[in-house]
Structures are given as structure tokens and as C-alpha cells.
Structure 1
């Protein structure tokens, strides 16, 4: 079954660890001797309860969460979170700060403004086509939160360190780099992450929210748009995305068994990214689109001398078993998404192909 698998560099939905896929395959028809698939068992059953709470426990251990940190699973992806965050935490007289580093943060800003919320864009990298992340910011006094997108999948930029906001909590969209490195959890009031890039399949979004921040949420919201609903019912107010949560639990188990800690996970990701950036920086043929001090460890974006060469690069790469390298439709170019689940062997194969392609076409 694995003989026909390619090296998967898709940006999302993206690669899942092969051991996870094999576990899913082995148990899909008969999950834990239930006689049913994980997609068939009751979400109110003891077997699924163990899956849900197991996933939550793994999140807590990997990120060293406190007892007052809620781990929630919500449908609607990160795009719904763009709207839920200001809906829950910005009242008529409140303001929030946003840092604009490209497409996803711009969408979050748009969703807040649609609701008539007062927000301030306190930093932006639009002046240089979002090729960097702002390193210094000045927060609005009394702001309820500062919103950041930790990693930009399209432009290939990433916060290597999070901005200092002092007593103002950070809210972060970490859809594409969650669990890729340790996090200073004391800085965050809320983190949200669509699973389909670095955590699991599409269809579920994980949210981590501190109790103290949750207590400040607005009242009288639609039931399914209130974080308090999910916290009060352990993400079980209605039927949750059971298969997605099950896969997340397996992915987190794989991280624990393979790397042990997020420190080791981060070292592994740094080695993978360095392998590709070394090829790019040592070349007069490839051009990185992100500035060196802002480069992503998850999404390596680059251009070739012409669009025709880029098309040939993507096509020939696929012929060589390297898939998902076409850049986002909004910017073109090429992109290698090397999330946690992408093995070192795949990155090495891509680096070797890039060197051969340059020798032949450069």
C-alpha cells in the first residue's frame, strides 16, 4: 500500500505521519474492538470519551498547560475563529490590536471589521509585500488583545519570537505551526489552529483558551458561537468532529513517541528547513521570497527565474514523486510545506531534485 505514496509537500490538507495513517487503516473498520468504525461509534460512548480526553491530555502535556487552560475542539476551521474571537471578546467600548502579516491576518481583520468592532492595525509588513514579520510593536493602551498569525503559509514568513505585549494577552492563529516548537504559553489568552496543516485532517479547529481570558467573554451570544459553550461541555454540546479528534490524538501520540518533547521537534524542523534554504541561498537560480530573519520553518517559498521554469519545476518534480510544490494561486512561484509529518527523507529528496534541476536548466 505504501509503494505508490509520494513525497507530499501540500500546504493543507497536508501530510500526516505514515504510522498514524497505518493505525487508522488498521482500526478503521473495528475501532478498539467496538465492532464499529471510529466514524460510527457514539460520541457519547466511553470509547470516544477516552479518545477526546486522551487528545486533551496530550495537548496539555506537550505544551505544559496549566489546569486553567481549556482545550476545545470546534468545527468551522480557523476562518470561523476569525469571527468568533472579536465576537466573544470585543464589546461596544473595547478595542483590539492586530498585526497584519498577509492573507490570513488580513482575513481576521476583515471579519472583525464586518462586525463593527474597533480594531487597530498596529504593525504591518505590507510595505514589502509581506516578506517579513514586524519585530517591534506598540500596543494600544487598554487593548483587549493583540492578534497575530504565527506563520504565513503563503508568503513563507514566521514569528521566531512573539512580540512583547506586557499585560495584554496575545491571540494567535497557529494553524500552520502548532506543535512545531515550544511556546511561551504565559503570553497567550487564546490560540486557535485549523488542524489540516500541522495537526490532523480538515474539519476540526483546536482552541486553547485561558480561564481568566474566557471569563471576560461577552454574554448573550449565539450558543454555538460562544467559547463558554464548548468549555462548559468539554466540546460536546453537539456532535463533535469525532474522526478529526481521533486523528489529532494519534498525531500527538506520534509526536510524543517519536520526539518526546517539542524542543526536539523544533530541532528536527530546523534541520529540515536548513536543508532547503541552504540550496536556495547557495544558488543563483532560486530566490527565497521571505527575508532571512523572518523565514518560515514550515513553508519554504521561492521563485525561479521565469514562470515557465516554475511550471516545469513543479511538473518534473511530480514526475519524480515530489508533489504539492506549486505556490499559492494568489502569489505563484513554488512552495514546499515541510510540516511536522514531512520526513527528513522527503526534504532530502527535494533538495537533491532542486540541485539537479538547477544543473540542467540553470
Structure 2
């Protein structure tokens, strides 16, 4: 029933990737050993990292000005590593958007390194919408500007790139990375943990403009210094070999089976529209949480009129084989996460269930 797993994360993986992963757990075909027991110092794993990087670079049309790293610690560690690099000892102020659960988590670690200006706070709106460009008054001399492109809990997503191109732009793309084309040259640092669109938990992809690493503030432990990981080709210490290997398989799937990010974007738009159409059609039963123009194409979040009805919806959905639909503990409700690997057939099956439930 993997194809009916609408969990917010770890998310569903493509069927072909699961099959290849299952085989690799027993023995990687070209090595004859389990992927769980192959040395991270082997030539085979060095080639895995190299190909995964090459595939991501190709998918994003990423210029050589940017490096790709495979790190540990999830997006949460990046909340600290980024201000250590870009804010510490600068005497400048970093600008942050507080648009939901995860962007709020990123702010306290930054304040340990320097001044942080909350450029916009969506709490008064219930984190149901995102700021318009005319609501943001950027400082041209800010150390950097940070935002989360897709808030997984609240189901809101930026469909345009905010910020000034003259200020270093940093983005947490954990839940929509590789779901659509992006203009990578407009970003100085992008980070995304794997367990939404890329693979299993354990690895975080970081894309960083190389010039940010000259110079680097003093006092940063080597393991938290991007330069150390870049010099070691993401094998500074024992990396999550299994997770990186699955990221490689997913990158192959995006390139060879899907046909690139333009095609992936078209599929994701169709999946999201399928569910939002039902929500809008049966507005007396389903209340979409996000403002229409800010609706996420990755996380469709909605409520029903009563807690009892939501519980019944989840009970019947589970009986039909749908998994992972319970909303985040911080806001409740229902959340259908439709990451890259979620098939259109599965989304259409959920749509039919929602239509029939509304009718009942």
C-alpha cells in the first residue's frame, strides 16, 4: 500500500526506486555486497556521490558557481550552520520570514550568532497566507535573507521568489526541492533534507555559492564548516551511505522516468488541482486552510466542520487503505502530502474517496 502513503514525511518513494533499493539491501548488483555494508571509502561510493551530484546539477541546470554537498543533521542543523557562516562577526542583520512552523524553528538558532530582523510574521493571519512583495521592506545591506519555500504543516507555498537579488538569498526547500524548475542563480544557499522528495531521512542536500566560503568566520568547528565537507567531497566523516544511494536512485528516476523538472512540475500541478477541486466543490464539508493564491502543491491541508467528522474521515480513509492523512500535531485537521513520488492514480483515488465521503 506504499502508493497510498500521504504522510508528511518521511514521504512515499517511487515504486521503481523501492524495488532497486530492496535489491541493493541484499546486494548492489555491480558490487555484490549489501548497500548497508559497503565502505564509504570505497571507489563505488565515491562514484555514487559523484553521479548524484551530477544528476542534481543537470536537473537544476546548476552553474559551476555553486557547489553541492550531502550533509547530515537534517535541515535543523542548517538553522545553525547558515548563521555561523553568514552572520557571525559581520555586524550586520539577517532578515527572516516567519511564515509557519518550520520557518519559526529557524529563527532562534540564528539569534545566537547575531542580530535577526523579523521581516514579516504571519502568525496574526494564522499562517494561512504569505506576504506580497509590497509588504516586505528589505534592507539592502542585510547579511542575508532567509525564507522557507513551502511550509509543510500549514500547506502554503511561495510561487514567486521573494527578496532582493542584491542580498544573499537563503532558502529552506526541504519539502519542494526538485518538484519544479527554479532559477538557481538567484539563490546563494539552498538546503533540503531528503525525506520529502529525495529519499529516506539521513541526508541533507546543500547547494552553496562558492564565493560565500571566502572568507569564513573564525571559531567554527571543522565539522560545521562547509569548506571541510566540500574538500572531502561530502565524505568528511562516515556519511549516510544508504540515504545518499537512494537519493541517487531518485535522481535517476527524475531524469530518466519522469523526464526532468518541467515534466515533474506539470504532474505535481495536476495532482494538487485534483484535490483542491474537490475541496472547493464541497466547501460545506472541506475547508481549505491556505489562501487560494498561496496553496501548496506539496501539502494539501484542510479541515472538516467538527472534530468528530474529522475522526470519522480518518477512520474511513484508513479502512480504504489511505495512510498518513492526519494533520500535524500543532494544528490538527487533515493533510495530504503529495510529494514527487505520489502517483496521480493514488491522488485520484483519494479524490474519489473525498467525493464519496462528502456525499455520505
TM-score calculated relative to the size of structure 2: 0.97
Residue in 2 aligned with 1:331? 331
SS in 2 for 1:123: strand
2:138·2:163 contact (CA, 8 Å) conserved in 1?
no
Residue in 2 aligned with 1:313? 313
Residue in 2 aligned with 1:166? 165
1:29·1:37 contact (CA, 8 Å) conserved in 2?
yes
- Cα distance in 1 between the residues matched to 2:97 and 2:240: 31
- Cα distance in 2 between the residues matched to 1:169 and 1:265: 28
Tell me: CA distance 1:6–1:185, structure 2 relative to 1, closer, same or farther (3 Å).
closer
2:197·2:339 contact (CA, 8 Å) conserved in 1?
yes
Unaligned runs of 5+ in 2: none
**Alpha-carbon offset, residue 212 of structure 1:** 1.5
Asked if residue 180 in structure 1 is aligned to residue 144 in structure 2, the reply is no
Note the alpha carbon deviations across 1:198-252, whole angstroms, 9 max, x for none: 1110011110001112324323310111111111111111111110100000001
Please show how residues 1-80 of structure 1 align to structure 2 within 5 Å: 4-5=1-2, 7-80=4-77
SS in 2 for 1:147: strand
1:95·1:119 contact (CA, 8 Å) conserved in 2?
yes
Compare 188-197 and 212-221 and name the one that shifted more: 212-221
**Alpha-carbon offset, residue 103 of structure 1:** 0.9
Could you tell me which of 117, 129, 133 is aligned with 1:132? 129
- Cα distance in 2 between the residues matched to 1:215 and 1:146: 19
- Cα distance in 2 between the residues matched to 1:250 and 1:330: 33
Please show how residues 177-216 of structure 1 align to structure 2 within 5 Å: 177-216=176-215
Moved over 4 A (4+): none
Residue in 2 aligned with 1:259? 258
- Cα distance in 2 between the residues matched to 1:206 and 1:219: 24
1:299·1:338 contact (CA, 8 Å) conserved in 2?
yes
SS in 1 for 2:266: helix
- Cα distance in 2 between the residues matched to 1:5 and 1:171: 33
SS in 1 for 2:237: coil
Residue in 2 aligned with 1:88? 85
- Cα distance in 2 between the residues matched to 1:43 and 1:29: 17
Tell me: CA distance 1:254–1:98, structure 2 relative to 1, closer, same or farther (3 Å).
same
2:327·2:335 contact (CA, 8 Å) conserved in 1?
yes
- Cα distance in 2 between the residues matched to 1:54 and 1:126: 42
Note the alpha carbon deviations across 1:62-85, whole angstroms, 9 max, x for none: 001111211101111001111111
**Alpha-carbon offset, residue 6 of structure 1:** 5.2
1:151·1:174 contact (CA, 8 Å) conserved in 2?
yes
Note the alpha carbon deviations across 1:84-122, whole angstroms, 9 max, x for none: 111111123122110110111111011112x14111111
Compare 308-317 and 291-300 and name the one that shifted more: 308-317
SS in 1 for 2:181: coil
- Cα distance in 2 between the residues matched to 1:50 and 1:22: 21
1:6·1:321 contact (CA, 8 Å) conserved in 2?
no
Residue in 2 aligned with 1:301? 301
Compare 312-321 and 336-345 and name the one that shifted more: 312-321
**Alpha-carbon offset, residue 325 of structure 1:** 0.4
- Cα distance in 1 between the residues matched to 2:41 and 2:3: 38
| Paired positions, count | 356
Tell me: CA distance 1:220–1:315, structure 2 relative to 1, closer, same or farther (3 Å).
same
RMSD, aligned α-carbons:
1.1
Note the alpha carbon deviations across 1:145-198, whole angstroms, 9 max, x for none: 100100000100000011141211210000000000011111111001010111
- Cα distance in 2 between the residues matched to 1:193 and 1:246: 16
SS in 2 for 1:172: strand
1:89·1:216 contact (CA, 8 Å) conserved in 2?
no
